[in-house]
Amino acid sequence: MNRTVIVGLVAALLVGAAAYAWLRPNSRGEASLAAGAASPSSAPTAPAAGPPVSVTTVVVQKKDVDVMLEATGTVTALNSVDIRPQVASRITKVQIKEGQFVSAGQPLFVLDARNDEVNVTKARAQLAKDQAALADAERQLARSKDLLAQNFISQGAVDTNQTLVDSARAVVAADRAAIESAQVGLSYSRIVAPASGRAGAINVFAGSFVQPSGDPLVTITQLDPIAIAFSLPQRNLGDVLGTLRRGGGKVTALLPDSGGALTGKLSFVDNAVDAASGTVRVKAEFANKDERLWPGAFVTVRLAVQTLAGASVIPQAAVIESPRGKIVYVVDAGSKAAARPVEIAYASGEEVAVTGVKPGERIVLDGRQNLRPGATVIDRPAGDAARGGRGGAASGVSNGVPSAAAMSEAGHGTATTATAPMPVV
């Protein structure tokens, strides 16, 4: 082969090798760029539907809801009487025991009555004396009238005898009044209960000297029925007066320490608003046969001033505070969640009466923090949430959705719960 040809071939090979070496990195870069352009992370894709969300739903209930005004009240007796003597005397007998229930007219104490008994006897003796004088005057009048008929005496003598009779009759009437007065004084020696109720502490004993200006002998307090007094803001005065005109309405007294509740009715509204506090004083009356209400005790009082008939009632925990107001998630027949704005008409305890939903609709109670409008939900029975660790939770699956513990055990690392942002309605 010609040397010139060999040299040319070698030169051509070297040029080709150099060109290949120069072009190969660029090809790799372009391929890398092409691969990067086709990467899923850089190319926009259509949003994929999320997995179903496991929730607990409740049904909107239809109820008659009483609108209540709540206040703290004090139990007060309808009748409470301090027993004091009407005369100064000495106690001879105590006829009751402390804490005893007494009836109206029942004897309580006996005072020393010897002086009053003597006064009654003296008044009766004086009456007998004056009655004898009256009888003599009446006989003298009768004889004078006979003599006048025979013209033996003048009319003036008859008139004089008539005056004596009239005077004697007046004296007898005064004597009878004196006896009654003495008997009244004698009655003060026997102290009886003016009303039925429970006796308090007895402050005297047999032999104690008592007087009207001293301390009460005992206090009788009526316990059945009994009243609760409380104050309400003046803005509620119209509702309270309307309730009183309708017969008193319903008043509920909540006893402390889970002691239950008693139901009574409104009985009194004060005739003026307290200018210092801006409240009006009211009272409610309760039956208290079992003595669950005690004078001086504090209780929580709820007065029903209005009834919302056929209201839609849901748990208060189902209501979500969104930037545009209160909403709930309603689940339709296709198990899709939709945000529904609601207004709270009245809240009582764990339940609220709302507008915006209808009785019979299903709303989300638990799991709403992971919901978005239009999401598919899987309704988890409320009992499963209460069991907490039994059933589906024990197997790591709840209605087809793996639990956090199951994901952790499967090698997915530490399971965390992601809370979706609150949707804007």
Give the residue ranges of DSSP H helices in 93-154.
114-149
- Determine how many CB atoms are found less than 10 A away from the CB of residue 80: 16
| pLDDT recorded at residue 99 | 92
**C-alpha pair distances (Å), 322 with each of 81, 92, 326, 327, 422:** 59, 78, 6, 7, 7
d(CA 116, CA 188): 9
Element containing residue 92 per DSSP (H, E): strand 89-94
pLDDT given for residue 368 in this prediction? 79
pLDDT at 354: 92
In this predicted structure, what is the pLDDT of residue 43?
A: 38
pTM for this entry: 0.59
Q: What's the pLDDT score for residue 163?
A: 95
142: its two tokens: 């009768």
Q: What is the CB-side half-sphere exposure of residue 39 using CA atoms within 13 A?
A: 9
Nearest alpha-carbon partner for 215 in 80, 82, 98, 79: 82
Count, residues in the chain:
425
CB atoms < 10 A from the CB of 215, how many?
Answer: 10
Q: How many CB atoms lie under 10 A from the CB of residue 256? A: 9
CA distance 335 to 377: 6
Burial of residue 41 (CB within 10 Å: 0-12, 13-18, 19+) is: exposed
Is 69 in contact with 315 (CB distance < 8 Å)?
no
CA dihedral 204, 209, 213, 217 (to 10 degrees): 20
Q: Which helix (H) or strand (E) holds 5?
A: helix 3-37
Distance from C-alpha of 82 to C-alpha of 317, rounded to nearest angstrom? 53
> For residue 242, what are the contacts with CB-CB under 8 A and spacing of at least 6?
305
Domains 53-63+311-409 and 113-188 share a fold: no
**CATH, domain range 113-188:** 1.10.287.470
Q: Rounded to an integer, what distance in angstroms lies between the CA atom of residue 408 and that of residue 425?
A: 35
At residue 92, the pLDDT reads 95
Q: What is the pLDDT of residues 314-366, one digit of tens each?
A: 999 999 988 889 999 999 888 888 999 999 988 877 899 999 999 999 999 88
> What is the distance between the terminal CA atoms of the chain, rounded to a whole angstrom?
89
- CATH architecture of the domain with residue range 53-63+311-409: Beta Barrel (2.40)
Q: What is the pLDDT of residue 15?
A: 65
Long-range CB pairs of 4-12 (<8 Å, 24+ gap) are none
The H-assigned helical ranges of 195-320 are: 237-245
Residue at 269: amino acid letter = V
- Spatial contact of 134 and 165, defined as CB atoms under 8 Å apart: yes
Eight-state DSSP code of residue 74: E
State residue 152's pLDDT score: 87
Q: Give pLDDT, residue 286.
A: 95
Q: Among the CATH numbers 2.40.30.170, 2.60.120.10, 3.30.70.260, 2.60.40.10, which is that of 69-78+224-309?
A: 2.40.30.170
For residues 115 and 172, give the distance between their C-alpha atoms in angstroms, rounded to a whole number.
Answer: 23
pLDDT-flagged residues of the chain (< 70): 1-10, 15-50, 381-425
The whole-number pLDDT of residue 26 equals 47
Burial class (CB in 10 A: 0-12, 13-18, 19+), 351: middle
Q: Which amino acid is at 24?
A: R
Per-domain residue ranges for the chain? Answer: 53-63+311-409, 69-78+224-309, 85-108+195-221, 113-188
Q: What is the pLDDT of residue 297?
A: 93
